[in-house]
Structure 1
C-alpha cells in the first residue's frame, strides 16, 4: 500500500493511493497515519479492504509527511563508501548515528527554507525506514519484522552549522523544513527488497546524485538492530539511512550549495518523487 497524508499543515487527513493512482480518503476508517496505525494488524486490515469503495479526493491537495506523530528521527551518516570518500573520511567500522529534530519534518513538495546566515545548505537523497512495532535490542534476523514501510527523504543539511560551529551534527540538520518526507509511506510488503532501490537527485535540472541501496555499508536489518541496542525504537519513528555520493560538499572542482530560487527534484524506485523550491529563511 501507498499511504499518505494530505491537507494543510497541521490539518492533514489520512489517505491511500490506489493502483490507478487515485487518491482515496481514509478518514472514515482512521484518524491519522501515525504510531497507532502502523501495527501489522492495522496494516493487514487496511490491505484487505476494497479501496474502490473509499471516496476519491479530487484536485491536487498539498501532501504532508506521510507519517504523523513522529517521535524521533534517527539518522545514519556515511553509509555509502563513495559519500564517505567525497567527504574525505574513511568508511566507518560501525554505523554513525545522529538525530534530526522532528520540527524539521515537512511535506515532499513544501518549500525548503534556507535559514538566515546559512552559507552551505546541502541536499541528501535517502531511503527512510518507518518503524511499525517497538524495537529494543532486536537481533538482526528479526529486525525487518519491526519495519512498517519505507519513504523517500531529503536530509537537508547546513554544512557550516554541522561542521564549523562545534558540538554535534544535529545543529546543521534540524532547521525547519530540513526533513521533507514522502510523498507516500510504502508498506514493506510492496517494497520487497529495500536493498534494490535506486536513488537520484537533481538541482535545477542537473543530475547530481545517482545511487542505489545495493551499495549500503550497513543494510537495513543491521541499522535497525544496531540503533535498537542504544535506544528503543517506537512505532512512527523514522530512520534515515544515509546518502550516496554527489552532495554539494563533494562537488568537483569545488563545493557548491543551495541558494534561494534553486529547485531540488529527487526520487527513488517505487517511493515516488519530491520537488522543493528553496526560499529565504
Structure 2
C-alpha cells in the first residue's frame, strides 16, 4: 500500500491511502487520523489500511477522490527521530581521495551515521528556503525507511522485520557550512536544514522483487533545472543494508515508531550514471580536471527526484522543489 498526508488537520496532516498509480486517494481517518498514529499502533492499523488500499485500487472505496500532489504535506510532517547514513562508500572514497586522505578500514564494517533534524519535513513540492546562496546549497537524493517500534540491540535480521515503509528524501545540505561545523568535532547542525520527503511512503511488499536484501534495486533519477543529472543505482554499491543501518542505530537504544533512517547519497563506482548530489559531481570533476566546474544551487533553481518502475511509472511520486531566498 501507499500512504500520504494531506496539508490539513493540524501539524501532522491527515492520513490518506493512495492508489497504486498515484491518481486517487481516500482518507483513512476512520483507522488513524495521522500516519504517526497508524505507526504507533501498526499491528492493528496496517491490516485495515491494507484492506482500504485494496478497495481503492479495485475502485470500490467510498470517498475516493482525485489526488492533487500539491495538496500533500510530507507523509510524516514531523517525526520523533531521523538518522541519516552514508551507506554508499564510493562517494566517501572519492571525497577522501580528492583531499588526499585514506578511507579508514572501520568504514567498511561500521556505518557512518548522524542524528538529523526531524522536527519538520518539507512537502514534496514545497520550496527549499535558504538564507543565503553563499552557504553552498546542495540536494542529496536518498532512499529512506520508516520503522515501527524497534527494541534495543535488535540484530539486522530482527531490524528487517521492523521496516514498515520506504520512500525518497531530499536531504538538503549547506556545503559551505559543513567544514566549520565538523571541525568543532560535534557534527552537523546549521549545515543540515529541513529535508523533503516523497509524496508517498510505500510498504516493502508493494515494491515486490525490487526490494531485496533490505535494499531498493532501482535507479535514483535526478534532474536540475529540467536537465538530467543522474540515475545512480540504489541497489548497487550500498555497503550496508537498511536492516544493518537500523540495527546500528538501535545498538544502545530502542527506536520509537516513526523513526526515519536514510541511506545517504546514492553513489556508484560507475560515475557514468551521473550523481545524486552536487558535492559528488564536483568531486568527480576535481579528480578528473583538478577543480570543480559545477556550481552549487542558486535561488530560482529547480530540482526533481524520482524512482520509476520498469514501465516508467513513478513509485513514490516525484520530489519537485525550487530553491528560494528567505523573505
Taking structure 2 as the reference length, the TM-score comes to 0.78
Shift, 1:264, TM fit? 0.6
- 2:151 aligned with 1:143: no
CA shift, 1:104, in A, is 4.6
Pick aligned residue for 2:251 from 229, 243, 248: 229
Q: Which runs of 5+ in 1 are unaligned?
A: none
Which residue in the other structure is 1:197 paired with? 218
1-side partners of 2:320 and 2:93: how far apart? 27
Taking the aligned partners of 1:273 and 1:80, their CA distance within structure 2 comes to: 22
The partner residue of 1:25 within 27, 31, 38 is: 27
* CA displacement at 1:172 relative to structure 2: 4.4
SS of alignment partner, residue 231 of structure 1 = coil
> Structure 1 runs of 4+ off > 4 angstroms?
none
1:54 to 1:273, Cα distance in 2 relative to 1, 3 A: same
* Partners of 1:219 and 1:74 in 2: CA distance: 14
Number of equivalenced pairs? 278
Who is 2:270 aligned against? none
After TM superposition, give the deviation of residue 68 of structure 1 in Å.
4.5
Contact kept? 1:135, 1:146, Cα under 8 Å = no
More helix by share: 2
Corresponding residue of 1:85? 93
> What residue number does 1:40 align with?
43
What TM-score comes out, normalization by structure 1 length?
A: 0.90
Residue 260 of structure 2: aligned partner: 238
Greater relative contact order, per chain length (Cα 8 Å cut-off, separation 6+): 1
Q: Which deviations, in whole Å up to 9, do the C-alpha atoms of 1:131-179 show, x marking residues without a partner?
A: 123232111122211111111101110012122233344224432xx31
- Which structure has the greater CA radius of gyration? 2
Residue 268 of structure 2 is aligned to residue 259 of structure 1: no
The aligned residue for residue 63 of structure 1 is: 72
C-alpha distance 135-107 of structure 1, shift in aligned 2 (>3 A) = farther
Q: Determine the C-alpha separation between the residues in 1 that align with 2:168 and 2:322.
A: 17
User: Structure 1 residue 34: deviation in Å?
Assistant: 0.7
Deviates more, 1:147-156 or 1:4-13: 4-13
Is the CA contact (8 Å cut-off) linking 1:35 and 1:70 kept in structure 2? Answer: no
> Cα 1:198–1:40, aligned 2, differ >3 Å: closer, same or farther?
farther
CA RMSD of aligned residues (A): 2.2
Equivalent residue for 1:5?
A: 5
Unaligned ranges ≥5, structure 2: 98-102, 268-274, 286-290, 309-314
